[in-house]
Structure 1
Amino acid sequence: MKVYQSNEIKNIALLGNDGSGKTTLTESLLYEAGLIQRRGRVSLGTTVSDYFPVEQDYGYSVFSTVYHVEYNNKKLNIIDCPGSDDFVGAAITALNVTDTCVLLLNGQYGPEVGTQNHFRYTEKLKKPVIFLVNQLDSEKCDYSNVVERLREIYGNKCVPVQYPVNEGPDFNSIIDVLLMKKYSWKPEGGAPVIEDIPAEEMEKALEMHRVLVEAAAENDEELMDKFFDTETLTEDEMREGIRKGLVTRSIFPVFCVCAGKDMGVRRLMEFLGNVVPFVDEMPKVHNTRGEEIECNSDKPTSVYFFKTGIEPHIGEVAYFKVMSGSIKTGDELTNVDRGSKERIGQIYVCAGAQRIAVDELKAGDIGCAVKLKDVKTGNTLNGKDCENHFDFIKFPNSKYSRAIVAENTADTEKMMAALLKMRQEDPTWIVEQSKELRQIIVHGQGEFHLRTLKWRLENNEKINVKFEEARIPYRETITKAARADYRHKKQSGGAGQFGEVHLIVEPYAEGMPDPTVYRFNGQEFRMNIKSREEVDLPWGGKLQFLNSVVGGAIDARFMPAILKGIMECIERGPLTGSYARDVRVVVYDGKMHPVDSNELSFMLAARHAFADAFKEAGPKILEPIYDLEVYVPADYMGDVMSDLQGRRALIMGMDTENGYQKLQAKIPLKELSSYSIALSSLTGGRASFTTKFASYELVPADLQQVLIKAHEAESSNED
């Protein structure tokens, strides 16, 4: 295979809602490029994409598929991404390592929730977008309505380059207003018949051509001057104007195909090859030091590994993009993230499960390697005289969490190893071994996302697992001061155990002055602070520990043991077993025995005294509150708001964004547990949402009592 230079390479992400036909389009692109001899079918499980068993079993794309086509001495690297928002990680990864997005739409439905989500990501990453309307042979296809809706949402930047002469089951021809030609196909598709535009279509074609010419001219001053003078541009000038408009997101060309019949695919590939920007024409990427890295083969070698696939009989397949320089078979590179040396035994270009060995790849190109020693997703490998490090892919927060349990406890360690390995393939699976909740929590993007993980554990790893409701990381605190004392005394022959601790607890806030006097039940307690220790709690908040013991009632050597006992109680709060926070503890008195007192005695006495005082100090449970943004079609707004109000959500505001309503709210984490399922059910899968931790707030009093009783019942069962 030819070694392509940076000015001959184009990287393209293929995105679209479920059912838009990305996998079918991939088959036609590969067939037109001559990489496959027969187009596979999704229903038969014979496609280049969706070749993993879990994808064939579910009938959905789960992983992105990297492939390439060669056209007219140019190389197009294409990444076909899953359409479901549950697998958004693949789309975000692809957009970060490619330069142009082809956003596929189902001609029956037009822009859907997946379209909106993907477009928002392109907006954030400032990537060029080409809209591609597919399934023109559907009875319900209405191309004009699809274009009208695109313009309503994204404005007049959406400019058709083609339109179908006839839609529905009889579809077989389009008018291309860039080339001003009619393309027609026989029933088997493939090579088109190209002819002049018929008279009955000429007026419509000329008007659309004029709009396209004007849109192309707006992106270059010279072209605009020529357009004002002549009111026309040559084909090459139009291509140049569109190319510049793509780079600046000033134009979103709209194309149409029928991928299932291989109609319009060859023309699409011509446009991608002739007009889409090359890798060296796009804005430069920044390394972690903020330095611009030029996509130049003459620079030192730097390679970024953006994806790991695990395939039967092969193991890990590591996909990379050459950020600068070039990579050759046999190169020895340094892994910046892991501090190790890595010899690249063989490099390949990709076509789904097929790999084609090559000797060299230049800056901007995409390839893969197998059997690497110590390379993980997100690692940067550098050649000599290069110190780059890349970390530019940012994934969305999780939306759906469940505790995962191996049905056979002996499989727990094996399950954890498998989960961590699978996370290399999809970084949006977050695995948390929570000491606080005493559960292994798996966080994902939705119910289907986690169901896929379970399928793979049970079918690939032969580990049977079950999901349980994840516990909520509540916090406990107090609202007033309280006093307690406790004597721990145990005598069982020989040396005994004795320790007595008197302490006061009160709410603590940063910058509070030291206490001087407390009053309880008419009795006054004066404080003489001898030492203080402030502990920043790992889960948030603080513990301030003050020693106010006078007269040697407790030896100073026992203070660390008293603090340890309090910390143990703070880690398993007295109300629900959750972490406590923002508490001041003042130890002011106690007793000890010259023989029987030891650290254990004072630790146990402190633990009981703290628990008793905490329960008398107006204890409150805090719950995590999240900021929620819901993107929902206007006609579902009422149902979504009613549902949120039933989930104790506080509506913070509403706005309109790209044709959708954006609803902002604050909602308790407990109420988010199955929100993704409920929202999908309410809106027929047409809404999406994002979440972000906001704060801890007080739990309502009635719910607090329910939580305390549930903890007491659980504790008694454990006893």
Structure 2
Amino acid sequence: MKVYKTDQIRNIALIGNAGSGKTTLAEAMLFEGGVINRRGEVTAKNTVSDYQPIEQDYGNSVFSTVLHTFSNDKKINIIDTPGMDDFRGSVVSALHVVGSALVTVNTPHGIEAGTESVCRYTEQAKKPMILVFNQLDHENVNFEQTVDQAKSIFGKKVTIVQYPVNAGPGFDSIIDVLKMKLYKYPAGGGKPEVLDIPDDEQERADELHNELVEMAAENDEALMELYFEKGSLSEDEMRQGIKLGMIDRSLFPIFCTGAKHNMGVGRLLEFVANITPSPAEAVEVPEITGKVVKKGEDAPASLIVFKTTIEQHVGEITYFKVMSGTVKEGMDLIIAKNGNKERISQLFVSAGKSRTKVDAMVAGDIGATVKMKDVDVNNTLSEKSAGYKFAEIVFPTSRHTVALKAVNEADDEKVSESFQKLHDQDPTYLVEYSKELKQMLVHCQGEYHLNTLKWFYTNEFKIDIEFLKPKIPYRETITKMAQADYRHKKQSGGAGQFGEVHMIIEPYIEGVDPKTVVTLNGKEQKLSIRDTQEYPLSWGGKLLFHNCIVGGSIDGRFLPAILKGIMEKMEEGPLTGSYARDIRVYVYDGKMHPVDSNEISFKLAGRNAFSKAFKDAGPKILEPIYNLEVSVQSDRMGDVMSDLQGRRALIMGMGSEKGFEKINAKVPLKEMYKYITALSSITQGRGIFSIAFDGYEKVPQEVQDELLATYAAEQEED
């Protein structure tokens, strides 16, 4: 394959709702470009995309697939992305490196929830968007209604470039108001006849052509002047205006296809080749160290990795976009994250699992290589003289968390190793081992994402796993002052153990000074603070430890042991075993034995005195509270509010944004389990949400009683 120059390259992402026909459209695009000589079908499991075993099992995309095709002497790189929202990480990574997005619309179904969702990502990435109204050969197609839907969601930017003459089972004709021609396809699809527009469609075509001319002219002052002067624009002038409008996201053209029978696909490719921006014109990934990225084929070479996958008999395949210069086979590049050298042993152009070997690739092109040793998604590699580092893909935050456990404990290590392989392929899978909860927590995008994880463990890794409800990281604290003392005494022949500790504890409140006199049980107790140690706790909050010993009742060498005992009990709180926080401790008295006192004695005395005092100090359980932001359609607002109230949410505010109602609330983490499933059900998949940790608050008494009873039962079982 020849080396295509930057201005001959176009990079597009196929995005859209599940079932909108992206994979079928990709198949037709490869056929039109001569990359394949026979179109496969999703139902036959023989498409170039969706070649992974899990995708053939599921019948839909799970990973993005890197493809390429050709049109008008342009190389068009295509990234076919999954339509299920749980795999939105692939959409985000694809949009990071392409110049434009083709949004496939299942026209019989209109603008679906997934369509809206992926279009939000194009807005975040500032990428041009072409709306491809697909499946126009199906029943129940209402083209005009779908156009109205699109305009109500995306505004007047939506512009008809093509419309169908006879949408439905007999669909075979498209009128293109840029070319002002009718494309008529033979039965079963194929190469169209290009005809003049029939008389009965001329008026409508003229009206839409004039609208398109006006939209194109609005994007450039020179074009606007030409339009005023001539009353119209030439096709080339319109192309220029449309391109500027697309780059500026002030124009979203509509194209028409029946991808299953390859109708409208060739003309769509022609538009992509002629009008969508090349890598030199598109919004590109910024260099973040402040260096100026040199242009031209002879500039220092650099690339950014946006995807990795693992294939049987091949191993790990690394997909990248060339950001500058020319990347050549055998070239040594430096990894920005660690300064290590990595050799590009081979270069490939991909079409699914088929790869064509090439010698070089220039800036803007998308390629693949194998046998990379130390390279992950988001790594920048460049020649030593460049030292570039490009902005990373910001993957969506997780929306669903479960605990993962191997059925057989002997497989625990295998579970962790296997998970890393999945994370490398889909970075939106995250895992952590919580020492506090004693659980392996998996963070993902939803139930379907989780089921996919289970499929891999069952079918690829051959490991039996189970998912459990994650425990909640509660905290324990106190609400009032309390005193306790404890004597640890043990005699078992020879040297014994003896230590006695008297302490007072109270809530720690930022900015409040320690006490010097306290009254307990009607008696006044003076506290002479000789030393204070402040410990910010890794789990949040603080412990303040005051040494108030006078007269040498406890030797100073035993105070660290007392503190250690207290800290041990704070790591395993007296109420439910959760971490304790925000406590001030005054150790003011005690007793020693000249022979039997030692560090272990005072550690145990301190631990038990703290536990006794804690239980008398109005102990309270705290729960994690999250800030929740939900966006829903207005007709579902009441149902979402009712559901949130049932989750003990506190509504903080409401507003409107881009046709959606927005709810801001504070909600306990305990009530957020499987919220994504509930919200999807209530809003028919159109609602979206995000959460962020806010802080800890006291649980209601009935919740505390339930937690105490559960903990007591667990302790009895142990």
Measured against the shorter chain, the TM-score band is over 0.9
Partner of 1:635: 635
User: Amino acid of the residue matched to residue 194 of structure 2?
Assistant: I
Q: In the alignment, is residue 507 of structure 1 matched against residue 507 of structure 2?
A: yes
**Which residue of 1 is the match for residue 670 of structure 2?**
670
What residue number does 2:599 align with? 599
Deviations 1:479-510 (A, max 9, x none): 21211111222222222222222222211133
| Per-residue deviation, residues 199-222 of structure 1 (Å, max 9, x unmatched) | 000000000000000000111110
Q: CA deviation at 1:634?
A: 2.9
SS in 1 for 2:679: helix
Task: Note the C-alpha offset of 1:236.
Answer: 0.6
* Cα pair 1:284 1:295 within 8 Å, conserved: no
Q: CA, structure 1 residues 449+593, in 2 after alignment: closer, same or farther (shift >3 Å)?
A: same
Measure how far apart 1:185 and its partner are: 0.5
CA distance in 1, matches of 2:20, 2:681: 21
Q: 2: CA distance between counterparts of 1:39 and 1:246?
A: 30
**Partner Cα distance (2:268, 2:454) in 1:** 39
Aligned to 1:222: 222
Match of 2:547 in 1: 547
For 1:529, what is the secondary structure of its paired residue? Answer: coil
Partner of 2:580: 580
Q: What is the deviation of 1:294?
A: 5.5
Q: Does 1:22 align with 2:27?
A: no
> Equivalent residue for 2:684?
684
Shift, 1:627, TM fit: 2.1
- 2:644 aligns with 644
Tell me, yes or no, if structure 1 residue 156 matches structure 2 residue 156.
Answer: yes
1:74 corresponds to 2:69: no
User: 2-side partners of 1:623 and 1:292: how far apart?
Assistant: 49
The corresponding residue for 1:368 is: 368
| Post-superposition offset of 1:311 | 1.2
Aligned-residue identity in percent? 56
The residue aligned with 1:174 is 174
Partner of 1:525: 525
Residue 262 of structure 1 pairs with residue 262 of structure 2: yes
Residue pair 1:348, 1:367 contacting (<8 A) in 2 also: yes
Change (3 A) 1:303 1:594: farther
* Larger CA deviation: 614-623 vs 229-238: 614-623
Q: What is the CA distance between 1:703 and its match in structure 2?
A: 0.5
In the superposition, relative to structure 1, how do residues 57 and 237 fare at CA in structure 2: closer, same or farther (>3 Å)? same
Residue 196 (structure 1) aligns with: 196
Which has the higher mean CA deviation after the structures are superposed, 647-656 or 403-412? 647-656
Structure 2 counterpart of 1:338:
338
Moved more, 286-295 or 444-453: 286-295
Q: Does 1:455 align with 2:462?
A: no
SS of the residue 1:42 aligns to: coil
Structure 1 segment 6-85 matched on structure 2, within 5 A: 6-85=6-85
AA partner of residue 499 (structure 1): G
Q: Are the counterparts in 2 of residues 484 and 504 from structure 1 also a CA contact under 8 Å?
A: yes
Secondary structure of the residue aligned to 1:625 is strand
Deviation at 1:302, TM superposition (A): 2.0
- Offset of 1:450 from its aligned partner? 0.8
CA contact (8 A) 2:160 2:208 kept: yes
Q: Give the CA deviation at 1:549.
A: 1.4
SS of equivalent to 2:263? coil
Gaps of 5+ in 2: none
Q: Between 498-507 and 346-355, report the one with greater CA deviation.
A: 498-507
Check whether the contact 1:498–1:593 (CA below 8 A) recurs between aligned residues: yes
SS of equivalent to 2:503: strand
Matches within 5 A, 1:308-387: 308-387=308-387
What's 1:206 paired with?
A: 206
C-alpha contact 1:280 1:295 (8 A) present in aligned 2:
no
Any idea what SS the aligned residue of 1:535 has?
A: strand
**Is this contact kept in 1: 2:286–2:391, CA < 8 A?**
no
Paired residue type of 1:356: T
CA distance in 1, matches of 2:697, 2:60: 40
* More deviation, 592-601/140-149: 592-601
In 2, the alpha carbon distance for the partners of 1:664 and 1:259 equals 42
**What is the match of residue 426 of structure 2?**
426
Q: CA separation of 1:128/1:552 partners in 2, compared to 1, >3 Å: closer, same or farther? A: same
SS in 2 for 1:280: coil
Supply the distance in 1 between the matched residues of 2:120 and 2:17 (Cα, whole angstroms): 13
**How far, CA to CA, are the matches of 2:259 and 2:284 in structure 1?**
33
Q: Does the residue aligned with 1:636 lie in a helix, a strand or coil? A: helix
Call closer, same or farther: CA 1:295–1:268 in 2, change over 3 Å. farther
User: Which residues of structure 1 form unaligned runs of 5+?
Assistant: none
The CA deviation string for residues 224-255 of structure 1, in whole angstroms up to 9 with x for no partner, is: 00111112111111111111111111111111
| Structure 2 residue 236 is the aligned partner of structure 1 residue 233 | no
1:629-668 CA-partner distances (Å, limit 9, x unpaired): 2333333332222222111122333333333333332221
Deviation at 1:378, TM superposition (A): 1.9
Specify the alignment match of 1:246 in structure 2.
Answer: 246
Deviations 1:502-528 (A, max 9, x none): 222211133332321121111222222
- Deviates most, 320-329 or 221-230: 320-329
**Secondary structure of the equivalent of 2:280?**
helix
Alpha-carbon offset, residue 325 of structure 1:
2.1
Label 1:204 to 1:508 Cα distance change in 2 as closer, same or farther (>3 A). Answer: same
- Aligned pair count? 718
Shift of 1:284: 4.3
**Equivalences for residues 465-476 of structure 1 within 5 A:** 465-476=465-476
Structure 1 distance, partners of 2:602, 2:483, is 17
> What is the Cα deviation at residue 529 of structure 1?
1.6
Secondary structure of the residue aligned to 2:215 is: helix
Give the deviation of 1:262 after TM superposition. Answer: 0.7
- Aligned with 1:279: secondary structure? coil
Q: Which residue of 1 aligns with 2:389?
A: 389
CA apart distance, 1:8: 1.8
Preserved CA contact (<8 Å) 2:4 2:75: yes
Matches of 1:415 and 1:438, distance apart in 2? 16
Q: CA-to-partner distance for each residue in 1:367-391, whole Å, 9 max, x for gaps?
A: 1111111112222222121222234
- Going from structure 1 to structure 2, the CA distance change for 1:79 and 1:696 (only over 3 Å counts) comes to same
Matching residue's letter, 2:200: E
Contact 1:104–1:133, Cα closer than 8 Å, also in 2: yes
Please list the CA deviations of residues 262-293 of structure 1 after superposition, one character each: whole Å capped at 9, or x if unmatched: 10010100000000001111234323335564
- 2:156 aligned counterpart, secondary structure: coil
Range that drifts further, 619-628 or 430-439? 619-628
Cα deviation, residue 361, structure 1: 1.2
1:486 aligned partner: 486
TM-score, structure 1 as length reference: 0.97
Residues in 2 aligned to 1:274 and 1:545: alpha-carbon distance in whole angstroms: 73
Aligned to 2:442: 442
- Does 1:87 find its partner at 2:87? yes
Distance 1:427 1:597 in 2: 55
Distance 1:581 1:322 in 2: 51
Equivalences for 1:128-143 in 2 at 5 Å? 128-143=128-143
**Amino acid corresponding to residue 559 of structure 2 in structure 1:** M
Which deviates the most, 471-480 or 550-559? 550-559
> In the aligned structure 1, how far is the partner of 2:74 from the partner of 2:349?
14
Higher mean Cα deviation, 529-538 or 630-639? 630-639
Check the 8 A contact 1:285/1:294 in 2, yes or no. Answer: no
Q: Counterpart of 2:337 in structure 1: which amino acid?
A: D
- Residue aligned with 1:227, SS: helix
Shift of 1:553: 1.8
Q: Partners of 2:534 and 2:456 in 1: how far apart?
A: 47
Say whether residues 1:560 and 2:567 are aligned partners: no
* Deviation digits for residues 324-367 of structure 1 (CA, Å, limit 9, x no counterpart): 22211111112222342211110111111111111111112111
| Aligned residues of 2:285 and 2:391 also touching (Cα < 8 A) | no
Distance 2:115 2:15 in 1: 8
Deviation at 1:423, TM superposition (A): 0.5
| Cα contact 2:158–2:253 (8 A) shared by 1 | yes
Equivalent residues of 2:476, 2:619 under 8 A apart: yes
Amino acid at match of 2:597: S
Q: Which amino acid aligns with 1:111?
A: I
Report the 3-state secondary structure (helix = DSSP H, G, I; strand = E; otherwise coil) of the residue aligned with 2:452: helix
Q: Which residue of 2 aligns with 1:534?
A: 534
Cα gap change, 1:655 to 1:511, in 2 (>3 Å): closer
- Please show how residues 287-302 of structure 1 align to structure 2 within 5 Å: 287-291=287-291, 293=293, 296-302=296-302
